[in-house]
Structure formats: structure tokens, C-alpha cells
Amino acid sequence: MRTASFPEGFVWGVSTSAFQIEGATDQDGRGPSIWDTFAGGAYGDPACDHYRRYADDIRLMQDLGVAAYRFSVSWSRVLPEGHGRANGPGLDFYDRLVDELLRAGIAPYATLYHWDLPQALQDSGGWTSRDTARHFADYAGVVYDRIGDRVDTWFTFNEPQVAAFLGHASGVHAPGRRSAADAFVSAHHMLLAHGLGLEALRARGAARAGVVLNLSPVLTPAQLGDVSLDLPEEDAEAVARIDALHNRQFLEPVLRGRYPADLLPLVEKVAGLDHIHDGDLDVIGGPIDLLGVNYYTPIAVRAQPGAPADPAFPGSEGVLFCSVPTAVTAMGWPIMPSGLSLVLRRLSEEYPETDVMITENGADFVDVVAGDGVHDIERMSFLEEHLRALRASLDEGARVRGYLLWSLLDCVEWADGYRRKFGIVHVDFTTQRRLLKDSALWYRDVIRRNGLGAERPKRPTLETVAARAGVSRATVSRVVNGEASVSPEARAVVLRAVQELGYVPNAAARSLVTQRTDSVALVLSAPRNGGDALISAVVQYVTGVLEGAGKQITLMLADTAESHRRIIRHVEAGQVDGVVLVPPDGPDPLAERLARTGVPVVLLGRPAIASLVPYVDVDNTGGAKAATRHLLDRGRRRIGVICGPMDLVAVQDRLAGHLAALHEDGLRPAIALAGLDRQSGGAAARELLSGHPDLNAVFATSDELAISALEAAREAGLQVPRDLAIVGFDDVHAASCTTPPLTTVRVPAADQALALARLLLSRLDGRHTTSVVLPTRLVVRATT
């Protein structure tokens, strides 16, 4: 592999934001922000205690050799009420910060709004109020007047899409509102604030100003493999709609002074257009010098008639958000470095005059502090692959001026608090001790040579362990093979090195002669929809059949990112001949990653994305269709559905079956979304019954949800089945014990488990295999 060097003057840096690192939320006159309120004291202080330790943190950056540091200013530290009286000590902090950066030879890049609105402004309407945009412009001026003489690069906003839609539509971010209309109105006011803020900065002579957007390519699952693929009309429409909501809603106003024509009807439908005043778009479209791009992951969608809108994307009815068949970070975000190139290509094609800076890119992985370091090989690989993609985009002509890594420090990851680890510097939140991870050392090298090295980060080998432990390869080999002839001291040193480096001994080397280990891994993820009965059948039958065939079973739990890594290392190291995988609920990259090792893998359940890994499943679609048909045949015409989490393939299939049966009779669906548990089922059932008082039947995608519907019907004074018929799915034990006993769809657990074991055996024998789908059976009881 060749080294990849970057253009001269390319800016290497790091990014952070105020609420995520500063702490000191009640110090020196700072007012509360919406994130203090939202966090309710659970996180946010002390965070990284950066307010006090900023000089040490700057020393770290200097050590790494970064040329630029993008930080954000806390509005409520500067203006505790959001407007009016400025807080001297708050401004002093940014003054000191900037001076210290300049002393260290690091260019300060200031972001004015990274999501932490002063609570006082929220109390008077927050971003739904147009006044907030004016207050923002005044605030921009106050900050500029204090540090503008030393700060050359300004960003008005960070990711207005996230602040508007996660804050106001899905409500998972502060201020936690759930109103689609508020989200669109807030997005517009943020854009307006950007424009007014830009004017304020310009009037004062800002050298370089822009905005930071979170951009993602929007693709169908099929396009992830081949972006040039032509799409059926419905899918093309789904892709365009999500692209309008996610990307173009912000790109077009800022860079072209207009809203996309296909976006406006979506906005109008939920929020009207009165909040968009004449002249606003001229202000918003004022020229910028630099577009900040935050890139983490792509978005995969396809058309799915009848699918309800995703709460974070009002207007996305009929679009299914799909999982992506690739490795994910601990956040669950699919890793797709080429997605960065797609974003950059789009910018070059559509906005060729715009200079770009990558203002965030990075990854959350589970870190282990081992001795004196954190050997975060996955983060390094993530960064390296994204930099290679970026390098390729530069060759294509992308106008990228720099790369700011997210993030310098492990910090508060918004609603997830302290548990996410995006830093290249580890922070111990009890002692505030900082520790450079391997990725930080690697980044330092990248910066030093202004490019990537010839070698990619590698997995540890016997040699690495020997070098770390200061012993010979033979000694390492003896220890890992359990030989007794090694001194206890040497053994301890080797084992520590093995653990610290995450080394997995290579069993394949040991069984070179047989090429077989006669071991099979049974990998279980918990919890799983449909639950315990199926898992226990799998354990019982898979073990029985495979042991009967002379295999040893290794039971492995796949419940964390770390356990995924362990399992992959185990399989890669040739420790097993085959794998039976019971994947977790929701999107799961493990199957593909295991399959790539070349070891035969079989799966329980159809995977979310078409895959070559054979699976055993039950006919969920057919079962749901039969259940709905049964209701129709009993004369029920007004049927609601309580639908479990839509990221579960089984739930998608069951909903599809239900919709298909309704469609055949020309009926329209009434859908209420729930989770897996009875509480959310109860809420969904109540929503359904109050929203559609004329319903006379309910189909639930699981028995748990059907049981909660039974309870909700009872509370509402409805008699089952006279007033309301109910059908569930799964035939769990409890379904036969309800009053009245529940009509449901039986899935053959034991048959599935047996089929799974047989499928693996035929694969081990090298026979051609295809997936198996077993029929379900309707069990009619007294609720219908």
C-alpha cells in the first residue's frame, strides 16, 4: 500500500462543543441552558471539567500537533438570559481560551450554536419564536466583539437538522418537544438566525464564516453496493424525499437562497408556510466562505406503502428506514467511508464554488483501558478508512481544506451521557485523568507526515505479543498453548500482554493437519423477540443434533460490541468449523462479518438486508395474512394493528402480511406503533382505541402486545370478542391463559431449531444449501 499524502496547507484539527466538555455549568454567572434542563443533573457537569482544565487540554492538542481547534461558545455563559446583559466572566473564559490556543500555535475556530440554547429563551418559545433568531445575531456580535480580533474562522450553527428535528420532532434531544410543526418552524428560524448571525459577523469584519451541516448520502440498501443502480419509481421518490428532509432542506437555503421545491409541500402540510417571511431566504442565502461538513454514516431507505413516518423525519410516511449490511460502531451507526466521498462528490457537482471543511468525523467504540493505554484499533481503522476516502475525493477535485476529528476527548454524548467514547483521548470521569489512546498517537503521526502511512493498523500477532512482553516467540507460544514449562513470572507477563493487545491465539495453526477443529460456535444474542421458548429450543436442539454429529459446541454471547469483536477474532482465528447465529433484534452486522471469514454460518431469522448467509425463518408474512384474513372472514372490517418495533424484520414481515390482506379487501390500515413490552403495547392500544372508536378488531404483531390490547379493551369497557376481536402472534405460553384465551399464530420453535442444526451440518459437508422458511399455523381461541 502506498502512503497517501495530503495537499500542502491541509488543516488537521479536532472538534469539541461547550456543553459536551466544559462542565462548570453554574460557575461565574453562567445561566442554565436547555441541555442542563434536559439532562436534569445526570450529566453535563463536571463533563471533562474543561472550563478549568482548558490549558492542559490545549497542551494535549499541541502535543498531537493539531493546527486548528473547533470549539463552541456557550450562549448562556455569555448571555445568561439569552439577550441583554452580557456576563463578563463568561466572556473572559473564551478570551483566555483563545489566547492560550494562539500561544500554542493552534488556530481557534469558533462555533456559536452547538445546541445549548439559554433556558430563558426556551421559556419564551425557543426556536419556535422568530425573536430567537434576532437574539442569536446580537449574541454573535457580543462574542465577536470580544474575541473577533483573534478568531479568523466562524461557524454560526452546528447541525441545525439535528437541533431542529431531534429536539422538536422526535424529542430525544433538548428541549424534548414532539411536534412536527415545531420542528419545521425551528429549522427555518435556525436558518434565519444563521443568516442574521452571518450578517452580524460580516459587519464586524469576520475573515471567514460559514455553517456546519450534518450530511449523509441517502441510498436504498441495493444502492449501497452499487450507487449507480437505477431505482424503481417508488424507491427513487422515497430517496429524494428523505434527501430533501435531511440534506437539501439546509444546503439549498444556505447555498442557493431557496427551499427545494419538493420540500415545501411537506412543510406546508404540517406547519403551514406562514413562518417563512418574504426576504428570509435572501438573508439565509448570504454568501459563506466555508461549509463545514460533519459525516458519520449513510441513511438507507426504501418505499414501504403504509409505513408510518419516522418520528425524526416528519413527512416520511411510506418510507422504511433500513439497516445497512455492514459493520457498525458502538452507536450502531453503519460504517461506510465511501459515504463521505459520495457527500463530497455531490457538493463538487452541485455547489462547485463552495469550499469545504470536514468539521466532524469519528467513532464511538467500546474502549478498554489496558495498563498504560487504550488500544483502540477499531477507531484507528475507522479514521484511517475515512481519510483514505477523503484522499480519493481530493483527487476527484473536492475542495476540502481540512479535517477536524470528532473528538479530542471522551465527553458527554448528549442524551447518551458519558457512556459513548468518541475521543482519541480517554477521560476518566472520576479523576479527570486524560490518557492518549492509540488513535491519538496514530493521528499525531498522520499530522506529522501530512498523510497516511504505508501500513494500516494491524491486529496483534505472536511477534507483537513477544515484543510487548519482552520474551521470545517460543515463550509466548508455550504460554498460549498451556505448556507447564514456563516460569510463573514469564507467564504473567505474557498473559498481560495478550490481554492488553487483545491477541487471539491461532488455533488453525494448531490443527494444520486436520484443517478441522470439530467445534461449532452457537452465538446467542439476547434479548430476542418471541423470546425464551425459541432460545431454549435452539440451545436444546442445536446442541443435541450437533453433538450427535460429533461436534463440540462453544456457546458464545453476543451482547456488546466487545463481545462481537471477541467472537469475530475467535472465528477468524480458525477456532471453529461453523457458526449458528441467533442475531439480536434489529440491524446486525455480525452475520456478514462472520460470513466474510469464510467459515460456514447459518442464521436464525431472515436478515434485514438480502444476504448470502442462509437462514431459517417462519413465514411471518403468511401468518399475519392468515390472521387478518381470519378476522375479515368473521366479518370484522375495521381492523387496527399494534405494531412492534419496525426495525425488526419479523415485525416488518408481519405488518406487510397484515397490510396485504387488508389491501385485498380494499380496506385501509390503522397503525399504532409500540415497542416490545406490554407498557408500550398498552399505550399503543389506548391510542388506537381512542383514535378509532369504531374499531372492531385488533391484530398485534406479538402476543405480548395482544395481551396489552386485551387489558386496554377491558379498561375501555369493551367486551372481547363481542365488541373487539383480538389476534396475537407467536403463541407464547401466556396466550392460552388469558381471559378469554387468545387467538394467535403459532411459530414452530422446535422445528426451527432442528432445521437450523441440519442446515449447518449440510453446509459443513459442503452441500449446496438454501434458506428454509417454515409455515406458521393459526390457533383459533376465544378472542375472535
Q: Output 74 or 158, the one with its CB closest to ligand FCB.
A: 158
Q: Does 214 bind ligand FCB (CB under 6 A)?
A: yes
Near ligand FCB by CB under 6 A: residue from 100, 355, 413, 687? 413
Near ligand FCB by CB under 6 A: residue from 6, 38, 71, 406? 406
Contact 46, 432 (CB under 8 A): yes
Q: Does 422 bind ligand FCB (CB under 6 A)?
A: yes
Contact 34, 414 (CB under 8 A): no
Q: How far is the CB of 22 from ligand FCB (least distance, A)?
A: 13
State how far the Cα of 725 lies from the Cα of 743, in Å rounded to an integer.
Answer: 9
Q: How far is the CB of 407 from ligand FCB (least distance, A)?
A: 7
Q: How far is the CB of 16 from ligand FCB (least distance, A)?
A: 8
Look-up of cell digits 514449562: 485
Interior CA angle at 647 toward 340 and 663, to 5°?
A: 120
Q: Output 173 or 388, the one with its CB closest to ligand FCB.
A: 173
Contact 523, 558 (CB under 8 A): yes
State how far the Cα of 642 lies from the Cα of 699, in Å rounded to an integer.
Answer: 6
Q: How far is the CB of 207 from ligand FCB (least distance, A)?
A: 24
Of 158-166, 271-279, 496-504, 666-674, the segment contacting ligand FCB by CB under 6 A is: 158-166
Q: Output 72 or 696, the one with its CB closest to ligand FCB.
A: 72
State how far the Cα of 472 lies from the Cα of 474, in Å rounded to an integer.
Answer: 5
- Which residues are paired to 303 by β-bridges? 319
Q: How far is the CB of 275 from ligand FCB (least distance, A)?
A: 25
> 721-733: buried (b, 16+ CB within 10 Å) or exposed (e) per residue?
beebbbbbbbbbe
Near ligand FCB by CB under 6 A: residue from 67, 162, 667, 778? 162
Q: How far is the CB of 159 from ligand FCB (least distance, A)?
A: 5
Per DSSP, the three-state class of 441 is helix
Q: Is 360 a catalytic residue?
A: yes
User: C-alpha cell of 197?
Assistant: 448571525
Contact 650, 620 (CB under 8 A): yes
Of 157-165, 283-291, 448-456, 659-667, the segment contacting ligand FCB by CB under 6 A is: 157-165
Q: Output 313 or 406, the one with its CB closest to ligand FCB.
A: 406
**Quick one: which H or E segment has residue 602?**
strand 601-604
Q: Output 362 or 623, the one with its CB closest to ligand FCB.
A: 362
Of 154-162, 310-318, 394-402, 578-586, the segment contacting ligand FCB by CB under 6 A is: 154-162
Contact 762, 734 (CB under 8 A): no
Q: Output 257 or 332, the one with its CB closest to ligand FCB.
A: 332
Q: Output 132 or 214, the one with its CB closest to ligand FCB.
A: 214
Q: Is 81 a catalytic residue?
A: no
Among positions 660-699, residues that touch ligand FCB (CB under 6 A) are none
Of 166-174, 406-414, 505-513, 736-744, the segment contacting ligand FCB by CB under 6 A is: 406-414
Q: How far is the CB of 72 from ligand FCB (least distance, A)?
A: 9
Q: Give 427's contacts (C-beta < 8 A, 6+ positions apart).
A: 48, 409, 410, 411, 433, 434, 435
Q: Does 159 bind ligand FCB (CB under 6 A)?
A: yes
Start-end of H helices in 204-262: 221-225, 233-243, 249-256
State how far the Cα of 325 lies from the Cα of 339, in Å rounded to an integer.
Answer: 14
Q: Output 414 or 729, the one with its CB closest to ligand FCB.
A: 414
Near ligand FCB by CB under 6 A: residue from 414, 541, 615, 729? 414
Q: Output 214 or 341, the one with its CB closest to ligand FCB.
A: 214
Contact 750, 737 (CB under 8 A): no
Q: How far is the CB of 406 from ligand FCB (least distance, A)?
A: 5
First-to-last C-alpha distance (Å) of the chain:
66
Rg, the chain, Cα only = 28
Q: Does 17 bind ligand FCB (CB under 6 A)?
A: yes
Virtual torsion, Cα 33, 35, 41, 42, nearest 10 deg: -170
Q: How far is the CB of 563 from ligand FCB (least distance, A)?
A: 23
Q: Output 360 or 730, the one with its CB closest to ligand FCB.
A: 360
Contact 155, 109 (CB under 8 A): yes
DSSP secondary structure code for residue 313 in this structure: S
Q: List strand residue ranges (DSSP E) for 465-577, in order.
A: 519-524, 552-557
Of 156-164, 262-270, 512-520, 709-717, the segment contacting ligand FCB by CB under 6 A is: 156-164
One-letter identity of residue 67: A
Q: How far is the CB of 296 from ligand FCB (least distance, A)?
A: 6
- How many residues bind ligand FCB (CB under 6 A)? The answer is 12
DSSP string, 509-522: HHTTTTS---EEEE
Distance (Å) of CA 767 to CA 37, 553, 574, 761: 60, 21, 20, 9
Q: Does 165 bind ligand FCB (CB under 6 A)?
A: no
Q: Does 186 bind ligand FCB (CB under 6 A)?
A: no
* CA torsion through residues 529, 534, 536, 539, sign: negative
Contact 383, 338 (CB under 8 A): no
| Candidate list 159, 378, 572, 592, residue with the active-site label | 159
Q: How many CA atoms lie within 13 A of 380 on its CB side?
A: 23
Among positions 62-81, residues that touch ligand FCB (CB under 6 A) are none
Near ligand FCB by CB under 6 A: residue from 22, 116, 310, 360? 360
Q: Does 653 bind ligand FCB (CB under 6 A)?
A: no
- Phi then psi for residue 735, to 5 deg, are -65, -25
Q: Does 158 bind ligand FCB (CB under 6 A)?
A: yes
| Candidate list 252, 360, 378, 384, residue with the active-site label | 360
Among positions 292-311, residues that touch ligand FCB (CB under 6 A) are 294
Residues near ligand FCB, by CB under 6 A: 17, 20, 158-159, 162, 214, 294, 360, 406, 413-414, 422
Which residues are part of the catalytic machinery?
159, 360
